Amino acid sequence: MESFKLVTLIFILSTSCGTSQWDIKDIAKNISREIDGLKNNELGVPLIQNLYKNFMFMQPTIDILKIVNTIAHKLETKVTDIFSGLESSQLIIEAKLLQENITSLNSSINPCFLKGPIRNNYANNSFNKDFLDSIDILEKMKSSLSMMSDGVRRQYFISDFEVQRLHRTPFLHCTECDEKNIWNNYIERNIYQRKNVILVLDIGGSMSIVQFTLLKAVAKKMLSVLSENDRITILTVSSSYTYFERDCNKFYNQKLDTTPRLKQATTTYVRDLNKYIDAIISETGLTNHTLSFEKSLEIVLNSFNQIKNETVMILYVSRGLLSSLMEPKQVLEMLEKFTATYNISLFINTCAIIDELKPVVYEPQFLCDIAYQNYSKYNVPFGPNPYRKLGLMLKVDSMESIPFAVERFCYVFNPYSHFETGTKIHLPTLDTNKEDIIVSFTKGWKNKSNFFMLGIDVYFSNLAEDIVYYGGGQGYSYFFLMDLNGNVIYHPYYMRVSGNSYSMFIDLEHIEKVIDVQTLKNRLLTEKKGIFQGFRENNTDLVHYAWSRISDWYVVCLVINTKYGAPSKPQKPVWFQNDFLYQNFEDYKLCRHLNLLATIDVTSLYLSSSCFRSPFLASRTSQNKMHSQDYVAYLKDDSRLLINPGLKEEIRDEVSLLSHILSYLRKRHLQSGISKYVVRRFAASNSGVFQMFPGSTIKPGWIPTKSRWYFKASQHKGKSVLVPPYLDKGGAGYVITVAYATSQLVVGMDVTFGFMLKMLVNYIPDCLEPNITCFLVDDDGYIIYHPNLMTANGAKPIEQQHIVHKESLVANDILNHKHFIQKLLCNSYDDDTIQRYYRLNTSFNGVLVNFAPGEQCVKYQITTIPQTNVFLGVVNVSCNIGATFCPCNIVDRLCLNCNRMEQKECECPCECPLENSDICEPTPVTTNMTENIPCKKYTEEALGNSFIVNSNNNLESCFPISCHEQVTHLDCLGLLGCEWCMFDMDRNYLRKPFCASITTCFKGMFDISDTALGRLPNGAEFSSVGPIIYSIIAITILFVLLLVCYRSYSNQINDRFYMSSAQDQLRMSDLNITDNFNDLGNHRDKLIQEERPKVISPYCVAGTYRRTAGPTDSDHGYSTMTPHDESEHMSLAPVEVESLDDDIFSDTTSVRTSPLTKDTPRIFSPIFTRIPQKNCITVPVTVHHNAKT
């Protein structure tokens, strides 16, 4: 990077000749004034403030109880509507049973996408009539819902009479059917006796990866159905056996030879067993099935006093592969002897783990014989015994079949078919097929002796849409939803209503950090309505809670933080003549803005789901052309006579206000000289209205109020904020967002990364000197600008790079300044982690310098840039110095030491598991949860990643910029769509650097943009050097192809290539040519014909060559540790030529462990040709053979 600075320095010699004397505080004030100019002139903040005054925006009087009651009433109406549908369907089923005089109907699910053969039977009217009747009832149930019909995921009906007679799920004929949630709900309906479970897992070497995954899933599912009243122990068996307590005592060098006993399934113990299952690995030996049951029966005997008059189940999960045909008889003889001796109600259930890719012969039959205790088959004598219980064998071949199997196994603990009847709302779960959160409503009842269950799964985002999409302003207010067990079902701090993950449910006291939270919790659970006031634990923020009960199911609570001002509204209607596009480009002239389809005639409007009265329905219909036309007509109606098509009342005023602001931003973009550094300008209201220029379309589902720039601007209201760079999907390269928040909205713009350097150089020309490093960081310590942030050799993306990554010496020193920086913790319940992060003091007024006295080699200065969230730093290095040790995990974000956190100990921002992952050192559940504050979440999806990318390259550019006309680096720096090209594809410096399009030169490197920015738009402008290089390459390739074709046709008989894998050996067998060699049937060169790998010339590599560490040899520990090279002798076996070139520039070669140095003379063998250049031509060795000899 120093070379980069030197090259750039040539162009500013007229400005700076050496190191100037400057005051960093004065420079910070100058930069602050420039950013303030961006805020006022380019973002129009004074215009926005005048608009508020003109329309007399006032903070309305808020009746918090009225708001809560309104939303609670809507939610309760939906709940009542769903239960009404279940009641009516129950009456239809009972009437049908009575009318047809039958005891049961078939279990069914809707929608059910039938498999091929079953679909044919359905078409031929030969499908089961009872199944079709059940489907018809479920269809009627859905249609009876007046409010929730659009939010239904599935409906289902289960008959216990049918289920207990099946060995496979009744929904086997349906595809794309996620059954896990259905059987979980059915298991919850069972009223079990105390479950005593001995879980035996076969971890022998015969298990495939698929089978081992299924085995762990079965074990975990079995644990999930246990209550604290149950007992459990786990035994793992291969050629030997072990169990959880024994392994942990070995860990502590303690001996535990006694047989384990059944232990209480407490929350802590079950959690530890889950960790133990995760840690199990497959062994190599064959499984000793006799040993499995021998030790299982010993556990039963050891727990005899605990389980008197209770049922015990041994669940043997295995593939069932036999090591001897005598093994079944040995196991049965053991079981018969035990059951004849001890009066214990013992069930032995077996679970056959099936991998469809592995052949199955005797395995399921063996497991079936054990479960049913088939003594007669193996001539094992047995007598009558009332305690001998027949078990059950079920096959598991997929994740979907596991919940049904576990339910059937647990039926031994409900022998009299006791079920919980009535209505029930289950906890939300993740639907893996739709990647959405669903909530199950079920109703169970008994008809004569049979139990039936009806269920409806609805989308949580539909059920609680008024809570999930509530727009309470910039931190002023929010809703959370809690059940009557104290579990927080939804909270904006941690739950996502869609996605591919879903976290556990959190107790209220862990997420609402208010003094006397226990009193608040008790009142929420006991009072139907109420108001509570309290202070946050920092004793400064007064918080109001208002809640309302929803029957016996939920509590809806509104939280208002008086620290933030209430959203203001105009006292009179806002109206400006506005024009914008909304999801439709048909009426406007199109152009290409980098990689985006755009227009510069008008701004574009995006309405997030929170703008609609029914956010869930809008998220599925807002892209519809007819709906879009209705919304546009309503928003542009100056008479205000059109009927509202479904928007919230305040949205029309906000759209009109933002349109007026964006018209100003559009004019500035078209007229301002700084626009050549600006990618886009935009504004977002607190309700989710978003407008931007140039006008482009945005993917549905994006929420502007949860963007990083919105969050940071709201956090620093009244200040200009800069958000660290991210790669813009629209083709602008790395961009930095400048944003400013008022009480009503956030306005911002994206500027190019080079613009920051241009601004710094204007005030600190010394930034380009080799020994001077200037950088900008935000209040979290993340880099906004650093000269080494974006280099040609940088393999990692530059997003979320911290000061610790780039200036570890400075980071080590500033940790000594307690008043300037703090290391903090927060609990992220979204992914169950504890986040460690830094917070810099934006109120700091001085200049931070070296804490350690007498340090002369490296000096730094850091100060705040007034009225921003940014810090300016300058580092002056006067001698060569190594990097300071600062441990960072280079593999993932896991902290290297989760057991402690010292304020003065340097480390990168990282995360630790919320629960202790050490199996043998269990940590209480509440240890970490109660102490740390919850992390406030914002979406990581940046605005630039939410655009719909243009696929039409034939359009004209919206803002044509001739990059090739920029002569100097400073002219090219930061210019939108341009990059100063200094390196070729081999990372060599170009003799004549030039300014090129970012699509042909990225990170200063020529022609690597395809990997970073996608295709090259037609008409892209770049220096004329590019076409010349391409032409030379094309001519060279054409010449090589002609040469290959000539050799192929002229020497088809006598030419053949030979190469031995040994360095100094040529086998005679290599010279044998078969008689049909000339009849191979094509005219390709023989080297290509034999499909051998490309060969490296032996003349290119010396015998003393040592291979350096490759990517797979990287050090997975500390980022400051030294990578170790691996030495190998060079063979003539085929290798990749490119690997030799890559070693020269590999990051892992920065520290050499090879004994060869520059001063060591190299001895070359006479058979090698020494080539001084880096690249050489590879020539295959050809042996001419006379076919007649």
Q: Please give the average pLDDT of every successive group of 10 residues along the chain, which has 1189 residues.
A: 42 38 88 95 92 70 86 94 93 89 85 60 50 78 80 91 87 79 93 96 92 95 94 93 71 56 90 90 91 93 88 95 90 90 90 88 91 92 83 92 94 93 92 83 92 94 90 80 90 64 71 88 93 82 92 93 73 71 82 88 91 86 76 86 89 89 94 93 93 88 88 92 90 92 92 92 88 92 87 60 86 87 87 88 90 71 95 87 72 83 86 73 49 74 62 78 88 90 82 87 67 40 50 78 68 39 38 40 39 36 41 39 37 37 36 34 40 50 46
Could you count the other beta carbons within 10 Å of the beta carbon of residue 627? Answer: 16
Q: Where are the domains of the chain?
A: 1-22+764-936, 43-59+587-602+617-754+939-957, 65-180+424-460, 204-391, 464-567, 960-1023, 1054-1184
- 3-state helix, strand, coil split of the chain in percent (to 5) is 35, 25, 45
User: Which CATH code for domain 464-567?
Assistant: 3.30.450.20
Between vectors from CA 923 to CA 918 and to CA 926, what angle results, nearest 5°?
140
Handedness of CA 45, 50, 56, 58 (dihedral sign): positive
Q: What is the pLDDT of residue 244?
A: 80
Residue 207 amino acid letter: M
Closest CA to 1058 of 1189, 1165, 1185, 1186: 1185
Between the alpha carbon of residue 1112 and those of residues 24, 893, 1124, 1126, 1147, the distances in Å are 44, 19, 12, 11, 13
The enclosing H or E element of 748 equals strand 745-752
Distance CA 295, CA 301 (A): 10
**Could you tell me the sign of the dihedral formed by the alpha carbons of 55, 58, 61, 65, in that order?**
positive
Per-residue confidence (pLDDT) for residue 869, from 0 to 100? 95
Residue ranges of alpha helices (H) inside 164-280 are: 180-189, 209-224, 244-251, 267-279
Mean pLDDT computed over every residue of the chain: 78
Pair 753, 790: CB distance under 8 Å: yes
Question: Which tokens is 948 given?
Answer: 């719909």
Going by C-alpha positions, the residue among 802, 798, 772 that lies closest to residue 871 is 802
Sign of CA dihedral 370, 376, 379, 382: positive
Inter-CA distances, 291 with 202, 242, 277, 712, 762, Å: 11, 11, 20, 62, 79
Q: Closest Cα partner for 200 from 285, 344, 300, 323?
A: 300
Q: Which of 400, 495, 436 is nearest to 153 (CA)?
A: 436
Whole-number Å distance between alpha carbons of 426 and 424 = 6
Q: Which residue type sits at 88? A: S
Structure tokens at 1080: 């191979």
Closest CA to 598 of 610, 615, 581: 581
Domains 204-391 and 464-567 share a fold: no
Among candidates 409, 372, 365, which has minimal Cα distance to 389? 372
Q: Please report the pLDDT score of residue 572 as a whole number.
A: 65
CATH number of 43-59+587-602+617-754+939-957: 3.30.450.20
Structure token digits, residue 535: 């202070």
CA torsion, ordered 637, 643, 644, 649, to nearest 10 deg: 80
Q: Where are the beta strands (DSSP E) in 625-698?
A: 678-685, 689-693
Fold adopted by 204-391: Rossmann fold (3.40.50)
- Rounded to the nearest 5 degrees, what angle is found at the Cα of 697, between the Cα atoms of 693 and 702? 105
SS3 925: coil
Give strand ranges (E) for 244-356: 263-264, 311-318, 345-353
Strand pairing class (196-202; 231-237): parallel
Q: Are strands 393-396 and 345-353 parallel, antiparallel or unpaired?
A: parallel
User: What pLDDT score does 783 carry?
Assistant: 93
pTM: 0.77
Instruction: Kindly state the DSSP code that residue 41 receives in the 8-state scheme.
Output: I
* Residue 568 token pair: 């203001």
Give just the sign of the alpha carbon dihedral 70, 71, 72, 77: positive
